[in-house]
Structure 1
């Protein structure tokens, strides 16, 4: 017990600072910056032909593998916007940004290992998290039709399940706890596995055994409202005692402003 490796995990709800007027001129990440970029997919549908030009041959092949047109369009939009944002922070040409994947299919940039990012999409929204710290994000649409009650015994421990069952708004409670687990395992690079049920997701401070997460860092998970009927959670390294600049930016939905993000000289 004396040598047991543990991590501290702090879970809470945050009112994230929203920046609706997009400032397309400053793309420098400080150590404590956690930036979330929100993309409302329907507003970008008219730009998909222009955004398609940002994709490389591997990504174009992936587009063609999607059976449904809506899935093809969503991929074109959120992948292209991701590459534009990565280009802004790395000063690379968008076409030269090549994503690789680890064994859990988490994307990363081999050329810039200091730049951590993660993406999540649900229905009409995509969200991209950027940081110098390991980061994971999950967003979910609060679907009216999704019957989640059958899932509870498989993905939540008893105390977590009771919170959902006793909640006034059970759907909101389910998605709040689910997104926290999902964001955390994405930050860890674990993915959903047999340990998913044991991942903490309730408000407060938790002690997590190394055997569960294979990690010795301390972590935070913050829930937030992305939009009406959309919940999100973001997980990142560090203690609450360390100052964190957590912001939510709205990506511009016209090519003129979007192109301002791309570095002029590379």
Structure 2
């Protein structure tokens, strides 16, 4: 099963997901992307103390609107977001499109699907007390068996992104002890009865980053795209030029992988 985007027919095949890798430091397009945002998004951006964080927020939210607008075939500015009690955003008016947005460092990830989806990206950065912090989410029988410090760090972020992807996909709160199931995120193949409804996928990512995605389906392929100003068939040099040359993009599969890790249903505290 795979999703094909032809003439913007997003749902021509069920249970599809497209994952966009979004560079956040695109200062040349920031003023134009800002035009797509709602007043409350502008207010959120203005709360950031540092210009870098302010710009990254504007970019990832503006690009997310641009991409979602293509799927919905509407102007990015006209997309209306609402939020669950735990802060999970969704598209107003019962849109069939589900999405998840995550950011870290220079990149953001936007997952778009016809089923509930969660994505998490983390920049792999060494930090103190790795062993101590890992005890909260990773069974020590697994973690301490790895002697190489670099490999330990990678395993930690692999587990962390998978965990966050699950929590974001569910979006309803957290009820499991993390160490009870974190080990299942590391090991390929397990036959626990509860690991049948959701699937977690490791995603090819930029160097020194970890990315994971969780789907509410038994689906094996993913459409992976890297966003750039011409990704949607337009050169974003102005909002006016965008609107005059707007055409829906066509999806192309640039990375197909089969995944076999199914995961336990979990709840979450959502953040994006």
User: Please, what TM-score do these two structures have when normalized by structure 2?
Assistant: 0.75
Aligned residues: 233
* Kept in 1: contact 2:98–2:115 (CA 8 A): yes
The DSSP-based 3-state class of the residue aligned with 1:46 is coil
1:156, distance to aligned residue in structure 2 (A): 2.2
Task: Report whether the alignment pairs 1:247 with 2:218.
Answer: no
Task: Report whether the alignment pairs 1:31 with 2:10.
Answer: no
Does 1 or 2 have the higher relative contact order (CA < 8 Å, sep 6+)?
A: 1
The DSSP-based 3-state class of the residue aligned with 2:27 is helix
For residues 113-145 of structure 1, give each alpha carbon's deviation from its aligned partner in whole angstroms, at most 9, with x where no partner exists: 421100111100001001001111111111134
Match of 1:237 among 213, 216, 224: 216
Match of 1:78 among 54, 57, 60: 60
Task: Report whether the alignment pairs 1:105 with 2:97.
Answer: no
The DSSP-based 3-state class of the residue aligned with 2:136 is helix
1:161, distance to aligned residue in structure 2 (A): 3.2
The DSSP-based 3-state class of the residue aligned with 1:79 is helix
For residues 199-227 of structure 1, give each alpha carbon's deviation from its aligned partner in whole angstroms, at most 9, with x where no partner exists: 34122235365xxxxxx971111112311
- The CA distance in 2 between the partners of 1:261 and 1:136, in whole Å, is 28
Task: Report whether the alignment pairs 1:205 with 2:181.
Answer: no
1:109, distance to aligned residue in structure 2 (A): 1.0
- The CA distance in 2 between the partners of 1:194 and 1:261, in whole Å, is 46
1:112, distance to aligned residue in structure 2 (A): 3.5
Change (3 A) 1:27 1:73: farther
* Kept in 2: contact 1:34–1:131 (CA 8 A): yes
For 1:227, the equivalent position in structure 2 comes to: 206
The DSSP-based 3-state class of the residue aligned with 1:169 is helix
Which stretches in structure 2 are left out of the alignment for 5+ residues?
A: 237-241, 250-272
1:166, distance to aligned residue in structure 2 (A): 7.0
1:194, distance to aligned residue in structure 2 (A): 6.2
What is the 5 A alignment of 1:33-112?
A: 33-42=16-25, 44-112=26-94
For 1:138, the equivalent position in structure 2 comes to: 120
- The CA distance in 2 between the partners of 1:83 and 1:217, in whole Å, is 33
Higher helix share: 1
Task: Report whether the alignment pairs 1:218 with 2:188.
Answer: no
The DSSP-based 3-state class of the residue aligned with 1:245 is coil
